[in-house]
Each structure stands twice: as structure tokens, then as C-alpha cells.
Amino acid sequence: DAKTTQPTSMDCAEGRAANLPCNHSTISGNEYVYWYRQIHSQGPQYIIHGLKNNETNEMASLIITEDRKSSTLILPHATLRDTAVYYCFVRVGRLGVNRDDKIIFGKGTRLHILP
Amino acid sequence: GAVVSQHPSRVICKSGTSVKIECRSLDFQATTMFWYRQFPKQSLMLMATSNEGSKATYEQGVEKDKFLINHASLTLSTLTVTSAHPEDSSFYICSAKRALGETQYFGPGTRLLVL
């Protein structure tokens, strides 16, 4: 799987949009971009994933650049409950599903929502 | 949605005893489950990959005789910490992957304290 790089930490004011960047310059054509987050003392929570088109769900939006070398996770109206560590991964998608593929966690981005 | 549960959520045991942690996929079948460990202020560390009906694959440095993994059905995997010691105190998290899908869903975690 391609490697990703994320800023160590970010601050965002409550009610504003939180934009979390991720670089994945070595991404392959069949690799999806995935985002998870971990709130303190809880298991990681799936947020969203995408291949090349922008995606939106009830939690967030995912913007992937045209060359797919980077992406941005957008939390449109951040609340204090969004304080967490956010992880970006790139992984082979369904067509190339590997039964033993695994997520190796990096350090992620620690997002602080400021009241 | 895809829900993964863990039991117990918290356990305290004496040094030298064994502790079993259960991971269940509640609304989907999971041919693959993963076990992670997380120490305070650190990221999740993958311990092993568990495929239903076969032996688990352990990551380098993880003792297979100490951390026994059983994945006997498509909805249940267990992790047994044998002869637990204080240094095994940690947050243990499982995840599960649908048979034909890609997204991994994580359990809420089990906090183990060995006295």
C-alpha cells in the first residue's frame, strides 16, 4: 500500500469547517483513499472512502485531487465531539481485494476543536 | 451499518492469569478479523490477522503462544492473553472485514489492567 503523510496536529474553531489534508503521492490506480478517526478511549471509526471522485456522506466530504496524489477530509461544521485523531490510508479496493490486507496505523492528525 | 462488538469492555486480572477477549461482528459475516493493541499516547499496533477456519498470522515480535487467537466462526474471534503480566496492560481493539468488501470496522476496544 502507498504511504501517506499527514500533519501531526490541527486546531479548528467550533462551528467552522475542519479541513484535514493527506498526501499520498505514490498512490496506485487501484488504491482507494480511506479515512478513519479515533476518539479518545474508543475504537477507530470509519468515516469515508473514495477512488477518484469526490465523496460525501453524513459525516464528512472527501476531496481528491485530479492527480490523486493528495486528498482533504472536510468536516463541514466541526463540534467538540469531533476532537479525535484522524487517520488517512490508501488501500487496494474491491476489485483487488486481498483477504489478508491490513491497516498499519501511522500517527495521524490530532484535531483539536476549540470552543 | 456494520457493527463490531467486544466483550468485556474492561477487565482487571491478577498477574499470571489468562484473560479472554471476544470480538463479534453483529450484522455481517467476517472472514477476516484483526487484533490491535494500543498503549497510552501511542498509535494502534497490529498484532495479528485472523482468518476464519485457519491459523492466525502474527506480526513480527508478537508471541503467538502468549496471545492465542481463535476465529472459529464468521462472526466471532477471540484473543486470549495467557499468563498475563503488568506489561500486557493495554487497550486491545479488534476489527472485522466483510467477506466480499474492503472496509474494516472496528470494535470499541477492551481495556486490560494486569495487577
pLDDT digits (tens), chain A, 115 positions? 568 999 999 999 999 999 999 999 999 888 889 999 999 999 999 999 999 999 999 999 999 999 999 999 999 999 999 999 999 988 775 544 454 467 888 889 999 999 9
Rounded Cα gap, residues B51 and B35, in angstroms: 11
Rounded Cα gap, residues B13 and B20, in angstroms: 11
Q: Give the position of cell 494486569.
A: B114
Reported as a single tens digit per residue, the pLDDT across B61-92 is: 999 999 999 988 999 999 999 999 999 999 99
Q: CB B108 to CB A105 under 8 A?
A: no
- Beta bridge partners, B36, equal B46, B93
Rounded Cα gap, residues B29 and B32, in angstroms: 9
For chain A, count helices (H), then strands (E): 0, 9
Q: CB A41 to CB B102 under 8 A?
A: no
pLDDT above 70 covers a percentage of chain A that reads 90
What integer is the mean pLDDT of B11-18? 97
pLDDT at B98: 82
pLDDT at A99: 46
Q: Does A69 touch chain B (CB under 8 A)?
A: no
Q: Are A25 and A76 in contact (CB under 8 A)?
A: no
Rounded Cα gap, residues B69 and B81, in angstroms: 9
Nearest Cβ partner of B103 from A41, A46, A85? A46
Q: Does A38 touch chain B (CB under 8 A)?
A: yes
Q: Which site among A97, A98, A110 would you substitute to test the B interface, given the most B Cβ atoms closer than 10 Å to its Cβ?
A: A97
Q: Are B34 and A102 in contact (CB under 8 A)?
A: yes
pLDDT at A51: 92
Q: Residues of B with CB below 8 A from A107's CB?
A: 43
3-state helix vs strand vs coil in chain B, percent to 5: 5, 55, 45
Reported as a single tens digit per residue, the pLDDT across B21-74 is: 999 999 988 888 999 999 998 999 999 998 888 889 999 999 999 999 998 899
Q: How far, CA to CA in Å, does A52 sit from each of A45, A67, B22?
A: 22, 9, 37
pLDDT at A10: 97
Q: Which site among B106, B111, B112, B113 would you substitute to test the A interface, given the most A Cβ atoms closer than 10 Å to its Cβ?
A: B106
| DSSP letters spanning A53-78 | S-EE-SS-EEEE-TTSSEEEEEETT-
